[in-house]
Amino acid sequence: MLISKKTPKEDVLKLSKECKKCGNCCKYTSGFLVDDDIIKIARFLRTTTDKLKEKYLEEHERFNTKTLRPKLIKGTKPYGKCIFYNEQIGCSIHEAKPLHCRVGNCNTYGNDLNQWFMLNYFVNPDDPESIRQWSTFLTQNNPIPGGSLKDLVPDEERLKKILSYEV
């Protein structure tokens, strides 16, 4: 199936069910929280959203958009495992798992699904810095349909100004 920026979330969730539960995602990073993820996790852990944020979450920025994610337990490396990952059982909040964790995995569509998530929740076509950072991302990745710079900023002159830091 071809995944595009406009693929409905329901279809993306169906494609992402193929997760192998290998834990690779959880051992090296954590998912980003969007929509009602914080409320669902807080309810699952029987705590308040404020206590959840204080004890388990940290701020993260991607494509000039700030969000929260579960804290990383880091050693001496710049990455670490998700605070909710348990070596014996896997994800300890699996029933309330954030959308990004449900979508981004190691399956056949993993890279495209992750790009879908970034395009729909982080990349802001109205924010020049977000577009510049996406442009850098695209130097190492082929965009899914709807994710090219021309798709996001159809005005060629504006795109040129954004990329040359004139805007």
Cβ(103)–Cβ(12) below 8 Å? yes
**pTM for this structure?**
0.91
How far apart, in whole angstroms, are the C-alpha atoms of residue 166 and residue 13? 39
Helix (H, G, I), strand (E, B) or coil at 60: strand
Sign of CA dihedral 13, 90, 69, 47: positive
Residue pLDDT, tens place only, 84-130: 999 999 999 999 999 999 887 667 788 899 999 999 999 999 999 99
